[in-house]
Amino acid sequence: MSKIKIIVADDHQLFREGIIALLAKNDSLDIIGEAASANELFELMDKSVPHVVLMDISMPETNGLDAIKVAKDKYPECKFIVLTMHAEGQYVVKAVRNGAFGYLIKNADENELIAAIEAVALGKKYFNSEISQLMIGNMALEGESHKKLSDREMEVLELVSEGRTTKEIADQLFVSARTVDTHRVNMMKKLSVQNTAELIKKAAHLKLI
């Protein structure tokens, strides 16, 4: 079998260089490029489509998970492995939904990384049991989870979190205070909380603000 062509996408140069130095020791792997952002990755893929992309989640501009979704549409034959330090169920779930073939935490070891690359290159999925557990845990939560907030609600949420009163927000958004009230109440229902304080806390933890 020919070499597995790989692109490493991560905004941390030292990590990219480290991974490349690590994989360079293996003759069956061929690193054809590296990217510090989703856009750089897209440019590289336009020139030459790799077999496998190692993708970080946290990157400037477009994040890794969204980038997978976009790239999957264009190059369905290319496989993505998420390689991140985020061991959180929500990310795993989103990665799978967006079409990732593998998910590795950065504290995996070299052997596991290579095993994952080889498995994924053959069209198999690679999720070790730790990751699978995270996903299961998160799926269970989803049942009782919140709905998404609308754009307008996010706007109101933002202002509420900045300490504005209902009236101030109403004036600023050119709507009645009742409307702002309704938005706030609807958000509380969606996130299953009792009052504004808890709403802000939950929103902060969900990184909405």
Partner DNA sequence: CTAGCCCTCCGTATTTATACTGACTGAAGA
Partner DNA sequence: TCTTCAGTCAGTATAAATACGGAGGGCTAG
Is 165 near DNA (CB under 7 A)? yes
Sheet holding 29-35, edge to edge: 29-35, 4-9, 52-55, 79-84, 102-105, 126-127
Q: Nearer Cβ to DNA, position 30 or 181?
A: 181
Q: Nearer Cβ to DNA, position 31 or 160?
A: 160
Given a contact cutoff of 8 angstroms between Cβ atoms, the answer to whether 71 and 46 are in contact is no
Is 152 near DNA (CB under 7 A)? yes
Residue 51 binding partner per list DNA, a second copy, none, with a CB distance cut-off of 5 to 8 Å that depends on partner kind: none
Least gap, CB of 147 to DNA (angstroms):
6
Number of residues binding to DNA, judged by CB under 7 A = 25
Distance, CA of 157 to CA of 196 (rounded, Å): 10
Residues recorded for the chain? 209
Strand partners, 102: 81, 126
Is 143 near DNA (CB under 7 A)? no
Distance, CA of 184 to CA of 5 (rounded, Å): 50
Is 167 near DNA (CB under 7 A)? yes
> Which pair of structure tokens corresponds to residue 156?
């109101």
Q: Nearer Cβ to a second copy, position 72 or 152?
A: 152
Site for DNA in 168-187 (CB under 7 A): 168, 173, 175-176, 178-179, 181-185
Which of 43, 110, 130, 142 is close enough to bind a second copy by CB under 8 A? 110
Consecutive H or E run containing 85: none
Is 62 near a second copy (CB under 8 A)? no
Which of 3, 69, 72, 106 is close enough to bind a second copy by CB under 8 A? 106
Closest to 63 measured CA to CA, from 38, 94, 80 = 38
Which own/partner contact pairs does 160-168 have at CB distance under 8 Å and 24+ positions apart? 160/184, 160/196, 160/199, 160/200, 161/200, 161/203, 161/204, 161/209
Count the alpha carbons within 13 Å of 22 in the hemisphere toward its beta carbon: 14
Is 205 near DNA (CB under 7 A)? no
Is 129 near DNA (CB under 7 A)? no
Interface residues toward a second copy, by CB under 8 A: 11-15, 17-19, 21-22, 24-25, 36, 83, 85, 104-110, 113, 160-163, 165, 193-201, 204-205, 209
